[in-house]
Structure 1
Amino acid sequence: MLDIDPRVRVDVDSLMAAQHDLGVCDAIRRIAPGGKADAMSAPHPPKVAGIDPAVAAVPHTTAAAPPRTAAARAVPPAPGTLVQDRLAGMVSDLTTLHELTERLARTAGLESALREFVRAGAALVGARRGLIVLEPSDGLGPATTVGLGLGRAELGHIETVPRAATPYGRILDGLPDAHGGSEVLPRPDAAPGTGGHGAPVDPRHREVASRLGYAASYALPLTAEATGRLGAVVWLYDEQDEPSDRQRDLVGLYVRHAAEHLARVLDAERSRTSLATVAEELLPSRLPRVPGVELAARHHPSPRGGGDWYDALPLPEGALGLAVGSVTGSGPSAVAAMGRLRASLRAYAVMEGEDPVAVLSDLELLLRLTEPARCATALFAYCEPARRKIVLAGAGHAPPLVVGERRTEFVETSLSAPLGMLSCWEAPSVEFEPAPGETVLLYTDGLLRRTGDPMDRAYARLHAAAAGAPRAVRQDPGALCEHVLLTLLPAGDPAAAGAGAEEDVVLLGARFD
């Protein structure tokens, strides 16, 4: 970021600077903290097209000067004033860049950072539309295209142009002339095969440009020091135009610093994707087919990786074991602990699944001996689909929800501490019988926390969401899970919740015939 002291005193040989047409940096002899120069106290217009002034105008500290006569207005400004104005313009530009980089740093996620990057660059070069193509040179992805003022269909039209015929395509392909810069397309009545700056234009490029209504473009490579090429960005002009030298300098500085930030965001996105992939691989790849029951599951991992899990495994004599649980913490360690806990519960369920209390007791002993600093919640249900009989036990876990034609109610379970909290865990089991066509919903508390409401209100909202499901939805456990997610969570997106956005969401539905 850029820290600029607003109080600057400049000692300049104004006559020398004016005679030799020196720049500000050549003419400045000494810069030190001091009082404000009069010229710096006056407000300056925006220095970059499309950007509001980032520094508010400072009120005059001296008395207003009398109106100037026509003769006085004819006198050219002093050379020192020109230098001061040039320096004020530089300060304004640097402040603008500081504001834009701050906005980019405040974005959340890779896609929002790319959108902010394209928007800010378009404002700096005076364009209305643009797009960024993320295509890292290491081939590890992700590869994506984000547009500004361009819909999905318009981006599709642009992608039909041969890559070698576009400046950003040549950058991505690493061609010898892949320097980016301006490209002014010919007018519709121009001779075929001629383009801006004397360069030939591909007929398909001419056709797409005419259809989308842009006449010029300005492209730059997106490169980070540590990762190399990240992609390319191009801004589109409605008229035959190109950025000025000043705009090129500003956008070049912005792209250079923004690329380093985008490289860090890309690395974090890759880490989150890898962690989510590992978490998914530790969960069931498919649900078993057991006569008399239909299963469905939904899992939305948190961005940082959480320890929520579910399981469904066939047991001897046509029985079925259902389990959900949550391990404290987040990140790789929580994901690894979740995998170990789920594997251990499967083993205990095969050996003594008809006694859910014994299964959780063994699991608690294992957790206490192997990971004493960690605790977990879990719920295990032993189901006999032929008899529609369920025996379950829970350790600090949310109660299941039974959804049917005649009722929508929570199953009354005994209160119990989570696993690992007490020296010896044990709680009585609960037995109930779902009616034909009823669905039993098992879930983790991440579903409740992602609503952002207190727990009592979150439970009420979950009950209302399930009770309000249409009849056709109740007959399909997968559709019921989707209905609950769309109704309960903000905008129907598990990642859009506020207070609980870092929580996993797990839903496991079992509909009995």
Structure 2
Amino acid sequence: MASNAPVGKPTDMSSPRLPKVAGIDSTVPAPPQTVAPLPGVPSAAPPSDAALPPGVLIQDRLASWVSDLTTLHELTERLIKTDSLDGALREMLGAGAALVGARRGMAVLEPADGLGPTSTIGLGLAHADLGTIETVPRGSGSYGRLLDDLPEADPPGAGLPGNSPAAPRPPARVPEPIAIRDVRTEEGLDPRHREVAARLGYAASYALPLATEEAGRLGAAVWLYDEPAEPDERRRHLIGLYGRFATEHLARLLQVERARARVATVAEELLPSRLPRVPGVRLAVRHLTGPQGGGDWYDALPLPEGALGLAVGSVSGTGPSALAAMGRLRASLRAYAVMEGEDPVAVLSDLELLLRLTEPARSATALFAYAEPAQRRIVLAGAGHAPPLVVGDHRTEFVETSLSAPLGMLTCWEAPSVELSPAPGETVLLYTDGLLRRTGDATDRAFARLHAAAASVPRADRSDPGAVADHVLRTLLPGGLDPAVEGEDVVLLAARFE
């Protein structure tokens, strides 16, 4: 009979060892369960010698429990450091594989409320392998049975004003894990299930619901064994404890992910859905948002007599309040541009007065340009904003603008306008300060890097304003805009004059 051994510290050095996860050897030979476990505590196998003194038995069990708790603590500490749904699912899969003694597995994220996001990731399985597993009828696969076992979410709109109040929903029932000891002999399996198992080379599986009474159903995880097997009661207990903790962590990350998606959606809805088509000029824009959504914005609107108004700006702060202020400011600037767009200084003066009267605690930067594409003429004014950059075959240079304070910082804002005439084929880049600050460099260094990035645009790409903008962004931010890092938004508006 096997001797008692804690998880992570097998005493039989010749016993087969399963793969380690996260540097923690949490595997143990699977002893038969012959002693009823104590309530709420992982059980241990009885000693091989029934004549051992009771004190030795107790010490052995206590050592086993302490080892198990230490392993769970280390695994949950690693899990809680993950800050994305994908990262948490991968960490959970790897740790769970060690706890149940498996080598491969997959996790399916499919919240019961139907609001998403949904995803499927694998451990030791290629993308094609996951696709093959998904060809198994949902009712035959263990993870599919777990996903379909809980009641449906409340109907859309329940409990909202104008609808009958929804009755309090009882806590969701959490289904039991599903163990298939031998796919070849298990009763009730679809033939396709056995075919897929034979093709991928697994003989058994253990599926765990990612669900709790409080969080509801978020998904399921299934681990695959190369030989017929199933975890003993002790391993089931450990993976059950870890699975509940992982589910609560995933629920928190799901709320954050949905909040970020809502903020991004609101920000996009407050900006132009498409850029206008005006003869003589081609436009392209790139807008990258941070996790909380900033107040950076842009606009391009056709004006009378073939003119075009171009604007970029940034409102102080982040989150919903900054987004709302950005929407109000952009809408006001549009109105002022239609009325007096030929005078950019008057447009920004009106905007500054509005900001000071309606939102005295907030400041903003803005740049407005009145462009006449047919004459290739631009008149612009800026309030605390970075100067535009002209990119062409014969020059790459910043437009010389006068130094001015942001809107809302002085009792009365005023700054002279600047006029420039782009040559045929030149592109004018308007951008927000976030593009410079996201580089992490000092201001002078960031401006120098932006100039170098614009100057290095390949000649073949200079005829396309979108390609120019993409090259500048790739050069300045080679890793892209990390959505998990707090910081300002980035706006880059490119206008190429024919």
- TM-score w.r.t. length of structure 2: 0.84
1:341 aligned to which of 329, 333, 336:
329
1:345-364 superposed matches below 5 A: 345-364=333-352
Q: Within the alignment, does 1:169 sit opposite 2:144 as a pair?
A: yes
1:108 — aligned with what?
83
1:277 aligned to which of 265, 271, 275:
265
1:8 — aligned with what?
none
CA distance in 2, matches of 1:330, 1:175: 38
CA distance in 2, matches of 1:175, 1:244: 26
CA distance in 1, matches of 2:440, 2:399: 24
Q: Within the alignment, does 1:366 sit opposite 2:354 as a pair?
A: yes
Contact 1:379 1:393 in 2 (8 A): yes
1:34 — aligned with what?
none
C-alpha deviation, 1:225, in angstroms: 3.0
C-alpha deviation, 1:224, in angstroms: 3.1
CA distance in 2, matches of 1:249, 1:144: 27
Q: Within the alignment, does 1:45 sit opposite 2:42 as a pair?
A: no
CA distance in 1, matches of 2:376, 2:66: 75
One-letter amino acid of the counterpart of residue 168, structure 1: Y
Q: Within the alignment, does 1:510 sit opposite 2:466 as a pair?
A: no
One-letter amino acid of the counterpart of residue 477, structure 1: P
One-letter amino acid of the counterpart of residue 103, structure 1: R
C-alpha deviation, 1:497, in angstroms: 8.8
1:330 aligned to which of 315, 318, 322:
318
CA distance in 2, matches of 1:89, 1:391: 77
CA distance in 1, matches of 2:438, 2:65: 46
One-letter amino acid of the counterpart of residue 444, structure 2: D
Q: Secondary structure, in 3 states, of the residue corresponding to 2:139? A: helix
* Matched length: 443
CA distance in 2, matches of 1:447, 1:375: 19
Contact 2:182 2:229 in 1 (8 A): no
Do the aligned partners of residues 454 and 153 (structure 1) sit closer, same or farther apart at CA in structure 2, a change above 3 Å counting?
farther
1:494 — aligned with what?
481
CA distance in 2, matches of 1:472, 1:126: 56
1:183 — aligned with what?
180
Contact 1:225 1:260 in 2 (8 A): no
| Deviations 1:465-498 (CA, angstroms, capped at 9, x unpaired) | 221111121111111111222221142x211796
1:204-283 superposed matches below 5 A: 204-283=192-271
C-alpha deviation, 1:75, in angstroms: 12
CA distance in 1, matches of 2:87, 2:417: 48
Do the aligned partners of residues 238 and 463 (structure 1) sit closer, same or farther apart at CA in structure 2, a change above 3 Å counting?
farther
CA distance in 2, matches of 1:93, 1:172: 29
2:459 aligned to which of 471, 479, 496:
471
C-alpha deviation, 1:174, in angstroms: 1.8
CA distance in 2, matches of 1:166, 1:175: 16
2:171 — aligned with what?
none
Structure 1: 5+ residue stretches without partners:
1-22, 24-39, 56-73, 187-194
C-alpha deviation, 1:346, in angstroms: 0.4
1:84-483 superposed matches below 5 A: 84-174=59-149, 179-186=176-183, 195-196=184-185, 198-483=186-471
Contact 1:185 1:201 in 2 (8 A): no
Q: Secondary structure, in 3 states, of the residue corresponding to 1:162? A: coil
Do the aligned partners of residues 236 and 54 (structure 1) sit closer, same or farther apart at CA in structure 2, a change above 3 Å counting?
closer
2:54 — aligned with what?
79
Write 1 or 2 for the structure with the bigger share of helix: 1
Contact 1:450 1:497 in 2 (8 A): no
| Deviations 1:424-474 (CA, angstroms, capped at 9, x unpaired) | 111111111111111111111111222222222222222222211111211
Structure 2: 5+ residue stretches without partners:
12-16, 27-48, 152-173
Contact 2:363 2:407 in 1 (8 A): yes
| Deviations 1:86-122 (CA, angstroms, capped at 9, x unpaired) | 1122112112212222222211222222222222212
Contact 1:378 1:418 in 2 (8 A): yes
Contact 2:25 2:98 in 1 (8 A): no
Do the aligned partners of residues 418 and 87 (structure 1) sit closer, same or farther apart at CA in structure 2, a change above 3 Å counting?
same
Contact 2:215 2:247 in 1 (8 A): no
Contact 2:291 2:483 in 1 (8 A): no
Do the aligned partners of residues 391 and 104 (structure 1) sit closer, same or farther apart at CA in structure 2, a change above 3 Å counting?
same
CA distance in 2, matches of 1:53, 1:497: 28
Contact 1:451 1:497 in 2 (8 A): no
> CA-atom RMSD, angstroms?
2.5
Q: Secondary structure, in 3 states, of the residue corresponding to 2:122? A: strand
Higher relative contact order (CA 8 A, sep 6+): 2
CA distance in 1, matches of 2:146, 2:127: 22
CA distance in 1, matches of 2:478, 2:79: 25
Deviates more, 1:345-354 or 1:107-116: 107-116
CA distance in 2, matches of 1:349, 1:299: 22
Contact 2:286 2:493 in 1 (8 A): yes
One-letter amino acid of the counterpart of residue 506, structure 1: V
Contact 1:46 1:53 in 2 (8 A): no
Contact 1:297 1:509 in 2 (8 A): yes
Contact 1:485 1:494 in 2 (8 A): no
CA distance in 1, matches of 2:446, 2:393: 23
One-letter amino acid of the counterpart of residue 481, structure 2: P
Q: Secondary structure, in 3 states, of the residue corresponding to 2:198? A: helix
CA distance in 1, matches of 2:58, 2:461: 73
Contact 1:490 1:497 in 2 (8 A): no
1:12 — aligned with what?
none
Do the aligned partners of residues 399 and 238 (structure 1) sit closer, same or farther apart at CA in structure 2, a change above 3 Å counting?
farther
| Deviations 1:387-413 (CA, angstroms, capped at 9, x unpaired) | 111111111111111111111111111
Do the aligned partners of residues 466 and 224 (structure 1) sit closer, same or farther apart at CA in structure 2, a change above 3 Å counting?
farther
Deviates more, 1:175-184 or 1:116-125: 175-184
| Deviations 1:145-186 (CA, angstroms, capped at 9, x unpaired) | 122222322221111211111000111122899633211344
Q: Secondary structure, in 3 states, of the residue corresponding to 1:494? A: coil
Contact 1:185 1:206 in 2 (8 A): no
| Deviations 1:273-302 (CA, angstroms, capped at 9, x unpaired) | 111101100000010000000001111111
Do the aligned partners of residues 459 and 169 (structure 1) sit closer, same or farther apart at CA in structure 2, a change above 3 Å counting?
same
CA distance in 1, matches of 2:150, 2:9: 41
Q: Secondary structure, in 3 states, of the residue corresponding to 1:84? A: helix
CA distance in 2, matches of 1:209, 1:455: 59
